[in-house]
Amino acid sequence: MQKWKLLFVILLILSTFANSPAQVSVRWELLENRFENPKFHQAKLTLKNESPAEFQSGWKLYFNSVFLSVNPEVKSPDFKIRHLQGDFFVLEGKDKTPQFESGAEIIIEYRSRGPFLKNSHAPEGLIFLKSNGDHFEIKDYEVLEISVNQLAEMAENTPLPIPTLERIYKQNAGLDLLPLNQLPPYLPSPKSWKYTGETLKIKNAGLAVVGDPEFVQASKVLLLAIKDGYRPSVDRTEAPIQIRIVKIGELPEEGYKIKIVDRRVLISASSPKGALYGVQSFLAMMPPTFLTEPGEEFILPQVEITDEPAFGYRGFFLDVARNFQPKSQILKLLDLMAMYKLNVFHFNLANDEGWRLEIPGLPELTEFGSKRGFSEDESEFLWPYYASGADAENSIAGSGFYSLADFQEILAFAKARNIEVIPEFGVPAHSRAAILAMEKRYEKLMKAGNSTEALRYRLADPDDKSSYLSAQNFKGNTVCVCQESTYSFYEKVVTEVKTMYQSAGVELKNWHTGGDEVPGGVWTDSPGCRNFLAKNPEIKFADLNDYFRSRAAEILKKNGLEMSGWEEIGQIHKGNSVAPNPKFADQNWKLYAWNAVAGWGGEDMAYRLANAGYPVVICSSANFYFDLAYDWDPNERGHTWSGVTDLYQAWKTVPGQLYLSHDQTIEGKEWSWEAARESFTKLTPEGKKNIIGVSGQLWTETVKSSEMLEYYLFPKMLGYIERAWVGDPAWSASESEADMKSKRLEEWNVFANLIGQKEIPRLEQLLGGFNQRIPKPGVLVKDGLIYANVQTPGLVIRYTQDSTEPTETSPIYSSPLPHRGGQKLRVFTPAGNAGPVVTLD
């Protein structure tokens, strides 16, 4: 009996150790941060063995960081940090890591190029590998964060605009709360509108909808919305509400008119697209709670509206390869796009870090290429890029793909909302997931003795010794353009995806090839390419990129598809400069002009390409890249490589005069409109015709969930939505710079009020609600008084004076407060959602 008790105790102890939440704890701390040359930051990792046993020598620590040099300098003499692929690194011994005793601490200091800007840029996704091959994720990890004031001190001698509370206050200067009747009726703002009377609140009246036979879809959308939002106990003595959707041939295809007089609503359009936009606009004038809290009252503003878009292409790009998004989130975004009249969903389904669509006949693409998890050699699945987790089967952001049924549902859902889905499978670079998946296929079929089939879709030259590193620090991420199997693979994907569209009842018209960021050094030491060039002496090594683009275009043309790609597919390198490539200017390839970092010299590339003859979509990284952080606050997540982008930066873009879209360079230096205008390429009459539209982008390296995705988009994306529909803002037509800036502030005040009073409350209710960023208040302390303001009037500032955090019931700031120290302020939405708390010392 005693032996059984002893055995039970031993098992209990072992179970306790096995389930212990912390075997190793880690703390990260910034030691030095330099913003002037040489720019660098120095930090340290402190590891502590929290387990009761030692770890034998040879252990390793894996982690992720997009923001670390590929070859960081490690100050601790026994250790080194080795770059593996992309953002994945390993900390290991120069020989072997030493034995790690129970309770002991190990400190590793390192130095990396570039200043440290964001708390989220510290190493993440820590995985501890024991010498016996077992591994575990480190959950007890602390990052000693820096505050916005500390970062401001570090960057004191630079022009970088760190958003202290005082700076935010000054940025918000000139904004005040406007009456609702001075605001547009909805977003995006219609071309012309006027209120003709007081808004009617009609209770328990009957309602009838009569639609033109061509506008069945628009009538259906309207009826379903009314059914959900208006549930009257019909009073026969009340005059009924009459809604008619009629056809008027002279309106533009996507244009519409709305006229509401008394209880009569007239929506006019010339096409189903215009009719649907008219219906969406009518619904946008309903209260935010219309669909979530149905009632007996119907709101009818008395208004006349005439509207049409400035651009035929109004796109939203989403990358699901870096980090995955579930089908439900895609459908939610498509509903939102329709509501805001965006008509192209550019869907990036493959990249180095993941392949996200099932392809019949090529199961390895999703069996291997759609999964991320930890292994030492990346043999079973891709490594856990972007800290997506060690467990491939439970990696929400790292693992996942869309089945045929999923994808066809997405296509049909988009079609019903007048949204074209353009798939992107980037080639020749950004293809590591596909390359490794096809290597898996090759190995499997070779073992089965089927060498012909094994070679059919192989993407890599196995003897290629070329040394290169991609823009995202990947090796081996570019397909071999010199072997026919690459083109067989590409055509296989094209034809299978085309079949998916046909099966869903959707026409596939446009195909995005990617084509960006082909690394220098590719194919330089490829025996396959040497043999190919020897057999084809008319093709030079420098022509390989163009050769690949031509072959891809032939495949697409054979399948009845239009080719598009990022700006690089229409560019040529001339020494250190980049210019439009005249070779393909007559091929009607659509180019997506993205590389527009303010101050780098490529801000006018969209115009240069359009003047050269290419149809161009403006994707300006400095204005329309939503994965950029909202500002330079170290607690705001996101990239900073093209500066930062918020609601205002997106809204003030001028597609027709892009030099007016900036006030500062990426470094925070003054941007002179006059100097930029003189050096900027001017659009020719033909070039103006070639600007076919705009696109907003969300790349997802730093986006780990659907909630984070929504935070990155809203309200920032709303500024882009205004530009996509309205085009150039009215202020940009003023004659002098002083007039432009004065009128810009007036128009910005109207738009900021529209967002604060109407759109943020609306997004809190629609489609289950959206996770939106609520800003900090701007605060200025002057002459013993606290002055506060907010970027989007309509949101309220609440405060406390007893050091407690402001809540939904705290007093509302309405006039300057005496500064006593310890006051806390916080911005709230109408639904009670709140932003960060700020404390005044």
- Cα angle: 736, vertex 740, 741; to 5 degrees: 120
Phi, psi dihedral angles at 590 (to 5 degrees): -80, 125
Residue 373 and residue 369: Cα distance in Å, rounded?
Answer: 11
What six digits make up the tokens of 301? 């503003």
346 forms beta bridges with 317, 422
Tokens representing 213 are 């036979």
Of 574, 560, 569, whose CA–CA distance to 616 is shortest? Answer: 569
- Residue 696: which of 683, 684, 709 has the closest Cα? 709
**Cα–Cα distance measured from residue 51 to residue 62, given in angstroms and rounded to the nearest whole number:** 19
What are the backbone angles phi and psi of residue 822, rounded to the nearest 5°? 85, 0
CA 679, CA 590: separation in Å to the nearest integer?
25
| Dist CA 342 CA 338 (whole Å) | 6
Residue 517 annotated in active site: yes
Cα(562)–Cα(553) distance, rounded to whole angstroms?
8
Strand order in the sheet with 838-839: 796-800, 824-828, 838-839
In the set 54, 238, 517, 747, the catalytic residue is: 517
Q: Distance of CA 500 to CAs 400, 421, 495, 504, 512, Å? A: 19, 12, 9, 6, 16
Under DSSP, the state recorded for 625 is B
CA 164 to chain centre: 25
Tokens of 151: 């970062």
CB 615 within 8 A of CB 688: no
Strand, coil or helix: 761: helix
| DSSP state, residue 414 | H
Task: Give the whole-angstrom CA distance, residue 439 versus residue 432.
Answer: 10
Report the alpha-carbon distance of residue 215 to residue 647 in Å, rounded. Answer: 35
Catalytic residues: 517
